């Protein structure tokens, strides 16, 4: 019996299906046509975006919401280069993603052929790994490796560039073999000695503080984190990426730390004698001035990526390993250590310096966010764009569950929220999804509203419309003498725009209309865009001026 | 301090670009880099010389490890190792000064590999100290062209080796 012959494209899809992928996000073009032809008969669901950047962010949002790898597909040249921001975004936030690009035929490579772009070269610094397929026989093995690399260890994007003649070639399909990557060690064993040392330091600590990052969410360590905090009665502060990794309503929770953190979180960092960093990477938006960060503290740093340890700050007790595993081991040896004085101090700070905003006659952006929380009882999946609205969302929507806050942290990509919301809704069809957006950012991938309409994805876009690139305006106000250089926006009529796309458009200009509009949007089960006309010149406060110490907060 | 790294990598297309790109992107400076395949055709060996303190080296080491194609990194700086570099030097040599140059070639155990009407091309191998000394002694004659392979290095066959043994062998070469 002769073995079955399949095309490279068929093998590609078969291999993707073998990874239990049922949905991909893509956009076709010449060099991807063989793959699209195979998709025509395939069981894989394909969501057609309206721009490859949107396609990549949708795959990213899908991955963050579900924990499964996101897959995106684009053609060569401009299709591939349009993916670049999306790949960089996934890289910075450690999102498992496999990006597949069509490429010119092997014989045309390197000749500046039509729609040729060296996408493996272009993306080298922003992928975890990449492949240019040179031989159809390797295809099945490469796909298997790509998913393995993208999803294990510290997750990240992996690119597979497939020349179109490879997709077209017909070969005998052979099952991929075992994965053999001698240079890849995704999950290092935890050293018991480090666990002991950490337990010792914790036992001696009078003022412990847990600083939790995205690693908690990625490794699914939220229950362990909760146990740890309660066992030690240790306050917990989260990074932007860590929000949702610890219940926002918990009395030990201090909110976010860093540039736009709460005062009490930043004070706690300055005063603690032990900082337990869990799946966080001491980003400069978190630490402020490095020299004065956590000046009184011993530092325990738990992370799966050894390169994060000691990268930005000196660490006393490094523990390399999967956060969930490490916390489990730590919990097994720890004894409760309830220091009351420290807790009381923190509660006093919480009372004295709460997050606050002044009501004005206008709609306050913070109020809209709080009402979204109230109406969804904190059960919505929230994406954001980038700017003031993003920071207010982090501050005023109380995230209680992991994977409920999906935002572009490391890269800070305006235009992320809408396509990400599409990916989230595809992955979580029965949940309420909101993109909390700015009037500037929403225009960066507004075309994806059409995707939502096309696939009947009932996402809600809440534009906090201040008529400005608000965060830029705020910095200009505070650090550039109020010289508002090119930060004021002339905007389209968002209601008409929504309607033109076939979505529901609602404009809200009065405070009392906020709740009814939100209710109507949630009930409609259709894609909705609400244009909230909010206070124009509100600021995100408190703020640690860039490069300053965390105790130098303004506002 | 200068460090010598022996880096084993998978012999895949793009691996050199990945390693070199990492250096430039993260602001690490390469002093020299030599690469070639090992006895196993699937594995290449890079010898990389970099300058920096321990913290810098630690970060470099960890970042290199994150590349999937990098199999093993050894910082052999503080171990006993043999290192060599090959250099080709084209030096001006009119008839009157040839004898002088040939004497230097002898002293440094170098070899003349090409003789032109007005130049001599010399091959010399050795460690950095020897090569620098040779280059300096030829400089007065007028160096027309010089190429270096970059250093390659290998740990010695036994671990007990001290600096002393290392130096002694170097002198003999
Ligand atoms: C792609 C991209 N370009 C530029 C920036 C810089 N940037 C950060 S926030 C911001 C303003 C965002 O304005 P808007 O979406 O209206 O949000 P607001 O701050 O007003 O809430 C800009 C321009 C960015 N983060 N991303
Ligand atoms: Mg705005």
User: Could you tell me which residues are beta bridge partners of residue A501?
Assistant: none
- What confidence tens digit (pLDDT) does each residue in B77-86 have? 999 999 999 9
Sheet of A433-438: strand order equals: A405-406, A381-384, A433-438, A460-465, A528-533, A504-508
Three-state DSSP class for residue A343: helix
Read off the pTM.
0.95
Return phi, psi of residue A551, to 5°. -85, 0
Instruction: Please report the atom of ligand 1 found closest to the CA of residue A365.
Output: 21
Residue B30 lies in a domain: yes
Residues B63 and B101 in one domain: no
CATH number for the domain including B110?
A: 3.30.70.1150
Domain housing B40 = 2-75
Contact status, residue A164 vs residue A102, Cβ threshold 8 Å? yes
Q: How far is B162 from B156, CA to CA, in rounded Å?
A: 10
- What confidence tens digit (pLDDT) does each residue in B23-69 have? 988 888 899 999 999 999 999 999 999 999 888 999 999 999 999 99
Q: Does B63 touch chain A (CB under 8 A)?
A: yes
Domain boundaries, chain A: 5-172, 192-352, 365-533
Q: Is it true that domain A192-352 has CATH number 3.40.50.410?
A: no
Q: How far is A100 from A172, CA to CA, in rounded Å?
A: 22
CATH number for the domain including B66?
A: 3.30.70.260
* Of A120, A75, A68, A123, the residue nearest A97 (C-alpha): A68
Contact status, residue A239 vs residue A269, Cβ threshold 8 Å? no
Q: Number of residue pairs across A and B with CB atoms under 8 Å?
A: 41
Residues B62 and B100 in one domain: no
How does DSSP assign A295-334, residue by residue? TT-EEEEEES-GGGTTTSS--SEEEES-HHHHHHHHHHH-
Residue B28 lies in a domain: yes
> Looking at B35, B50, B75, which one is the last position of a domain?
B75
A5-172 belongs to which CATH class? alpha beta
Within 8 A of A306 by CB-CB distance, chain B residues are: 62, 65
Three-state DSSP class for residue A165: helix
Q: Furthest-apart CA pair in chain A: how many Å?
A: 80
Task: Give ion ligand 2 contacts, CB < 5 A.
Answer: A 438-440, 466, 468, 470
Residues B63 and B116 in one domain: no
Q: How far is A537 from A219, CA to CA, in rounded Å?
A: 39
Residue B164 lies in a domain: no
Tokens standing for residue A264: 């009490």
Alpha helical stretches, state H, A5-77: 8-18, 33-39, 52-66
B97-B100-B101 Cα angle (round to 5): 90
Q: Which of B14, B65, B66 sits opposite A120 (nearest CB)?
A: B14
How does DSSP assign B28-81, residue by residue? PPEEEEEEEE-SSTTEEEEEEEEE--HHHHHHHHHHHHHSTTEEEEEE-TTS-E
Within 8 A of A134 by CB-CB distance, chain B residues are: 13
Return phi, psi of residue A436, to 5°. -90, 115
Tokens standing for residue A229: 């905090």
Pocket of ligand 1 from Cβ distances under 6 Å: A 385-389, 412-415, 438-441, 464, 466, 468-472
With a cut of 90, say whether residue B146 has pLDDT above it. Answer: yes
Q: Does B55 touch chain A (CB under 8 A)?
A: yes
Instruction: Please report the atom of ligand 1 found closest to the CA of residue A437.
Output: 15
Mean pLDDT of B130-156: 95
Tokens standing for residue B42: 């699937």
Return phi, psi of residue B74, to 5°. -125, 125
Shortest-distance ligand to the CA of residue A416: 1
- Of the candidate CATH numbers 3.20.20.10, 3.40.1160.10, 1.10.3720.10, 3.40.50.970, the domain formed by A365-533 belongs to 3.40.50.970
Burial class (CB in 10 A: 0-12, 13-18, 19+), A249: exposed
DSSP state at residue B152: E
Contact B59 A181 (CB under 8 A): no
pLDDT of chain A, 555 residues: tens digit per residue: 557 899 999 999 999 999 999 999 999 999 999 999 999 999 999 999 999 999 999 999 999 999 999 999 999 999 999 999 999 999 999 999 999 999 999 999 999 999 999 999 999 999 999 999 999 999 999 999 999 999 999 999 999 999 999 999 999 999 999 999 999 999 888 999 999 999 999 999 999 999 999 999 999 999 999 999 999 999 999 999 999 999 999 999 999 999 999 999 999 999 999 999 999 999 999 999 999 999 999 999 999 999 999 999 999 999 999 999 999 999 999 998 877 899 999 999 999 999 999 988 899 999 999 999 999 999 999 999 999 999 999 999 999 999 999 999 999 999 999 999 999 999 999 999 999 999 999 999 999 999 999 999 999 999 999 999 999 999 999 999 999 999 999 999 999 999 999 999 999 999 999 999 999 999 999 999 999 999 999 999 999 999 999 999 998
Tokens standing for residue A323: 């956060």
Three-state DSSP class for residue A92: helix
Q: How confident is the model at residue B159 (pLDDT cuts 50, 70, 90)?
A: low
| Residue whose token pair is 């458009």 | A505
DSSP state at residue A554: B
* Closest Cα in chain B, distance from residue A318 (Å): 14
Residue B173 lies in a domain: no
Contact status, residue A448 vs residue A422, Cβ threshold 8 Å? yes
Q: What does the pLDDT read at residue B161?
A: 44
Burial class (CB in 10 A: 0-12, 13-18, 19+), A41: exposed
Alpha helical stretches, state H, A455-502: 470-479, 494-501
* Of A97, A100, A63, the residue nearest A80 (C-alpha): A100
Residues B90 and B125 in one domain: yes
Q: What does the pLDDT read at residue A126?
A: 98
> Looking at B75, B91, B107, which one is the last position of a domain?
B75
Could you tell me whether strands A405-406 and A381-384 are parallel, antiparallel, or unpaired per DSSP bridges?
Answer: parallel
Residues B106 and B140 in one domain: yes
Q: How far is B95 from B82, CA to CA, in rounded Å?
A: 37
């Amino acid at each position: 019996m002769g073995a079955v012959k399949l095309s490279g494209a068929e093998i590609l899809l078969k291999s993707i299906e073998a990874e239990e992928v049922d949905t991909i996000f893509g956009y076709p073009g010449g060099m991807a046509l063989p793959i699209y032809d195979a998709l025509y008969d395939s069981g894989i669901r394909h969501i057609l975006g309206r721009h490859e950047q949107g396609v990549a962010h949708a795959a990213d949002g899908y991955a963050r919401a579900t924990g499964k790898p996101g897959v995106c597909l684009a053609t060569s040249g401009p299709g591939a280069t349009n993916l670049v921001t999306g790949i960089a975004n996934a890289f910075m936030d450690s999102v498992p993603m496999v990006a597949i690009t069509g490429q010119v035929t092997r014989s045309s490579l390197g000749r500046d052929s039509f729609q040729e772009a060296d996408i493996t070269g272009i993306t080298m610094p922003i992928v975890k790994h990449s492949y240019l397929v040179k031989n159809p026989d390797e295809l099945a093995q490469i796909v298997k490796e790509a998913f393995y690399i993208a999803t294990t260890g510290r997750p990240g994007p992996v690119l597979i560039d497939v020349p179109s003649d490879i997709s077209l070639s017909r070969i005998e399909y052979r099952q991929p073999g075992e994965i053999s990557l001698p240079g890849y060690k995704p999950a290092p064993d935890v050293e018991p000695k480090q666990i002991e040392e950490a337990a010792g330091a914790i036992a001696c600590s009078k003022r412990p503080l847990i600083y939790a990052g995205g690693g908690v969410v990625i490794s699914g360590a939220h229950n362990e984190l909760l146990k740890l905090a309660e066992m030690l009665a240790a306050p917990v502060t989260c990074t932007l990426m860590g929000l949702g990794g610890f219940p926002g309503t918990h009395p030990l929770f201090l909110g976010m730390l860093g540039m736009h953190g709460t005062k009490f979180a930043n004070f706690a960092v300055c005063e603690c004698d032990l900082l337990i960093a869990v799946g966080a990477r001491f980003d400069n938006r978190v630490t402020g001035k490095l020299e004065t960060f956590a000046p009184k503290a011993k530092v325990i740093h738990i992370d799966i990526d050894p390169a994060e340890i000691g990268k930005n700050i000196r660490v006393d007790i490094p523990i390399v390993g999967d956060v969930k595993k490490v916390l489990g081991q730590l919990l097994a040896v720890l004894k409760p250590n309830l220091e009351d004085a420290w807790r009381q101090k923190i509660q006093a700070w919480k009372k004295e310096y709460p997050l606050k905003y002044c009501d004005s006659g206008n709609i306050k952006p913070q109020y809209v966010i709080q009402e979204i929380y109230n109406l969804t009882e904190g059960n919505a999946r929230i994406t954001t764009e980038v700017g003031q609205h993003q920071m207010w969302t982090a501050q005023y929507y109380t995230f209680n569950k992991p994977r409920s806050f999906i935002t572009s942290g490391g890269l800070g990509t305006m235009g992320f929220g809408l396509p990400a919301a599409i990916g989230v809704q595809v992955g979580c069809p029965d949940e309420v999804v909101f993109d909390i957006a700015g009037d500037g950012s929403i225009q960066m991938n507004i075309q994806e509203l059409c995707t939502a309409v096309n696939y009947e994805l009932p996402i809600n876009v809440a534009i906090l419309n201040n008529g400005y690139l608000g965060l830029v305006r705020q910095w200009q106000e505070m650090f550039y003498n109020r010289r508002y250089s090119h930060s004021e926006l002339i905007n389209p009529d968002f209601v008409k725009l929504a309607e033109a796309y076939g979505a529901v458009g609602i404009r809200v200009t009065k405070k009392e209309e906020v709740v009814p509009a939100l209710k109507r949007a949630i009930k409609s089960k259709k894609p909705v865009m609400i244009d909230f006309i909010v206070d124009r010149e509100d600021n995100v406060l408190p703020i640690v001026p860039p490069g300053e110490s965390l105790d130098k907060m303004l506002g | 301090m200068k460090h010598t790294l022996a880096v084993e990598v998978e012999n895949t297309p793009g691996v050199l670009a990945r390693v070199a790109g990492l250096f430039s992107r993260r602001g690490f400076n390469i002093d020299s880099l030599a690469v070639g395949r090992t006895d196993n055709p699937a594995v290449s060996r890079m010898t990389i010389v970099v300058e920096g303190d321990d913290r810098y080296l630690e970060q470099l080491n960890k970042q290199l490890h994150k590349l999937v194609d990098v199999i093993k990194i050894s910082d052999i700086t503080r171990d006993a190792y043999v290192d060599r570099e090959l250099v080709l030097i084209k030096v001006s040599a009119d008839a009157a000064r040839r004898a002088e140059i040939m004497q230097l070639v002898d002293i440094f155990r170098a070899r003349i590999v090409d003789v032109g009407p007005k130049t001599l091309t010399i091959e010399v191998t050795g460690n950095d100290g020897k090569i620098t000394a040779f280059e300096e002694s030829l400089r007065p004659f007028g160096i027309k062209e010089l190429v270096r392979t970059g250093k390659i290095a290998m740990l010695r066959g036994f671990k007990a080796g001290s600096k002393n043994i290392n130096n002694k062998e170097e002198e003999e070469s």
